[in-house]
């Protein structure tokens, strides 16, 4: 039986900061390392769990928002460094300024037009907590979505853990009691696997999304514009001024939206192209060429040419939202007092289509009793000389 091993915050921080693979990153390899991560606004304690693999990689996850707080990955010299943005304690994550750093978003990730949808002949009104272009929409689950909820640790090993959250019928306006689980696994193949499942007692809509901000250089004061991105997608979803899909699936060929070959993110981000103007850069959904049948397919490949770090992303979902950190503006202070400037990170969020509840031509996001929703993301890390 695997036991939970509690350590102090100072010792945990020291262990996680180790830059070379070492079994000393976990003094008790058969136990899960846990530390207190501070109190959330209602006074309850949040916890930080540390996962390790045989190669010295370390992933830290908090039960607040089922959030990935940090992940170390090796560069071409074998140096391990944290490649995510975030905060030093739960206080930052439980604040209004938090732009969904690392969290598990739900009940419905991305946008729903005007916060409205109909299901089985009944109309529902959700919070309109976002208004790009002056057009209100429901974003990432509402005023206090799954990324701002305290989850329960259900199962664990030194390299994996399962977190559970039960969303009551009517929470944030959604119908049905939804039982969601998120599993994090850190494998010896240098893969971080995020897997979300959900069941419901009444028809509802579901789109659980993982929202980590990546900077493979491990230097978050630098832009990700020089990162080379490949998206396995021949089409994207054009949007209106409110960043809601119009229903069209447009070809990427001959446009700045074409990442079918490795391309620096910043190469065309300022191009005179309507989609980029509406999103103030890249903040759009691409339709994946693979994974539409529910099996794992390659979605994206991200590479930092300086450090050699590579992240490949596989998923069973039909789409991926590529967000280039356009709204990071130097007003957020994150880990170790770092100020996160414009385009300091990139988000690659596999998902169902935005506004799918209102678009007949999109894959259905409806989950009914007796069915199980399942979303898998495999983040595969390597380094090239």
Task: Choose, from 35, 195, 303, 349, the residue flagged as catalytic.
Answer: 349
Under DSSP, the state recorded for 266 is: G
- Alpha-carbon gap, residue 369 to 355, rounded angstroms: 22
The secondary structure of 21-38 as a DSSP string is --GGGSSSTTEEEEEEEE
- 3-state SS of 235-262 is EEECECCCCCECCCCEECCCCCCCCCCC
Q: Tokens representing 280?
A: 């103030």
- Alpha-carbon gap, residue 28 to 158, rounded angstroms: 9
Contact call for residues 291 and 315 (beta carbons, < 8 A): yes
Is 171 in the active site? Answer: no
Q: 272: number of CA atoms within 13 Å, CB side?
A: 0
Q: What are phi and psi of 276, to 5 degrees?
A: -70, -35
Cα three-residue angle 136-68-245, rounded to 5 degrees: 30
- SS3 state of residue 342: coil
The secondary structure of 260-304 as a DSSP string is SS-EEGGGSTTSS-HHHHHHTS-EEEEEPSS-TTSS-EEEEEEE-
- SS3 state of residue 243: coil
Task: Choose, from 211, 284, 375, 379, the residue flagged as catalytic.
Answer: 211
- SS3 state of residue 160: strand
Residue with tokens 């509802």: 204
Is 211 in the active site? Answer: yes
**Helical segments of the chain, H only:** 9-16, 90-93, 274-279
- Alpha-carbon gap, residue 4 to 187, rounded angstroms: 19
Residues annotated as part of the active site:
211, 349
């Amino acid at each position: 039986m695997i036991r939970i091993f509690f350590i102090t915050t100072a010792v945990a921080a020291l262990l996680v900061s180790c830059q070379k693979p070492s079994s000393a990153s976990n003094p008790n390899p058969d136990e899960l390392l846990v530390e207190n991560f501070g109190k959330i606004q209602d006074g309850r304690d949040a916890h930080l769990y540390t996962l390790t693999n045989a190669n010295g990689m370390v992933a830290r996850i908090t039960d607040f928002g089922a959030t990935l707080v940090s992940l170390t990955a090796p560069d071409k010299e074998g140096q391990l460094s944290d490649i995510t943005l975030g905060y030093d304690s739960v206080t930052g994550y439980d604040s209004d300024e938090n732009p969904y750093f690392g969290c598990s978003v739900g009940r419905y990730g991305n946008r729903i037009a005007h916060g409205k949808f109909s299901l089985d002949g009944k109309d529902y009104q959700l919070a309109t907590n976002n208004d790009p272009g002056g057009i209100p929409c429901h974003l990432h689950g509402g005023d206090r979505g799954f990324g701002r909820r305290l989850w329960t640790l259900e199962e664990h090993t030194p390299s994996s853990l399962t977190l559970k959250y039960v969303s009551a019928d009517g929470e944030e306006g959604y119908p049905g009691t939804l039982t969601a689980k998120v599993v994090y696994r850190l494998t010896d193949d240098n893969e971080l696997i995020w897997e979300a499942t959900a069941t419901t007692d009444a028809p509802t809509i579901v789109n659980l999304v993982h929202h980590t901000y990546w900077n493979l250089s491990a230097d978050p004061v630098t832009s990700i514009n020089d990162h080379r991105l490949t998206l396995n997608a021949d089409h994207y979803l054009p949007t209106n001024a409110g960043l809601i899909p119009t229903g069209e699936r447009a070809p990427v060929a001959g446009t700045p939206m074409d990442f079918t070959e490795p391309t620096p993110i910043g190469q065309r981000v300022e191009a005179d192209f309507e989609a980029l103007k509406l999103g103030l850069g890249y903040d759009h959904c691409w339709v994946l060429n693979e994974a539409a049948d529910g099996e794992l397919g390659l979605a994206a490949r991200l590479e930092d040419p300086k450090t050699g770090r590579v992240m490949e992303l596989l998923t069973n979902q039909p789409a991926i939202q590529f967000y280039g950190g356009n709204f990071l503006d130097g007003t957020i202070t994150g880990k170790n007092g770092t100020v996160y400037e414009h385009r300091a990170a990139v988000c690659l969020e596999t998902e169902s289509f935005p506004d799918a509840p209102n678009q007949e031509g999109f894959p259905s996001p409806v989950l009914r009793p007796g069915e199980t929703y399942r979303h898998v993301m495999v983040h595969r890390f390597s380094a090239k000389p």
